[in-house]
Structure 1
Amino acid sequence: MEYHDDEVGFKPDPVFTNSRPKWVEDSHCHNCHKCKASFTLLNRRHHCRRCGLVFCNRCSSNEAKIPQLNYNFVPVRVCDECYRMVNM
């Protein structure tokens, strides 16, 4: 499944599969998926390791261990919504 900027109703799936998500291509994403801020030289893109979508730093400043995806030892960047789901 591919996600693009125009899919405003997306919510990360609370149920894990044991495979890493397909990352949205940088060229397909010009704005943060959550706050819609434009990406620039100073406002960089960051992929959430859980859902694969692209966010700005402000909307993906959390890190979490995700054992289901083999991120067992080092916390990795996740978006705010995935962080909330991982820490439920």
Structure 2
Amino acid sequence: MEYDDDQSFKPDPVFTNSRPKWVDDNNCTNCHKCRTQFTLLLRRHHCRRCGLVFCQKCSSNSVKIPQLNYNFVPVRVCDDCHRNLRF
């Protein structure tokens, strides 16, 4: 099942102070952004901000997110969340 088919999960477009529910790995066969299919060599990566699943290319940024209690170590975020989190 693709993410788009799963109407039960929608990331909150407004930034909140709670960590998002991660999309289940078993439900994701393709990158949410570029639609590249995941394989044994092309791994899935969850964005710590929105909880969606991306390939390395579409989630290559890391930032600290104090609002989600990621204070000390930068964590992986997708390109869209990275643009939204920049100050």
- With the shorter chain as reference, the TM-score category is 0.7 to 0.9
The answer to whether the 8 A contact 1:66-1:75 is kept is yes
The answer to whether the 8 A contact 1:20-1:50 is kept is yes
Equivalenced residue count is 83
1:85 aligns to what? 84
The answer to whether the 8 A contact 1:5-1:31 is kept is no
Gaps (5+ residues) in structure 2? none
Partners of 1:85 and 1:12 in 2: how far apart?
13
1:20 aligns to what? 19
4+ long deviations beyond 4 Å: none
Identity %: 70
Partners of 1:12 and 1:31 in 2: how far apart?
21
Partners of 1:25 and 1:81 in 2: how far apart?
20
Q: Please report how far the alpha carbon of residue 6 of structure 1 lies from its aligned counterpart in structure 2 after TM superposition.
A: 4.5
- The amino acid across from 1:46 in the alignment is H
1:58 aligns to what? 57
State TM-score, norm by structure 1. Answer: 0.86
1:74 aligns to what? 73
The answer to whether the 8 A contact 1:5-1:29 is kept is no
Gaps (5+ residues) in structure 1? none
State TM-score, norm by structure 2. Answer: 0.86
The answer to whether the 8 A contact 1:12-1:82 is kept is no
Q: Is the helix fraction higher in 1 or 2?
A: 2
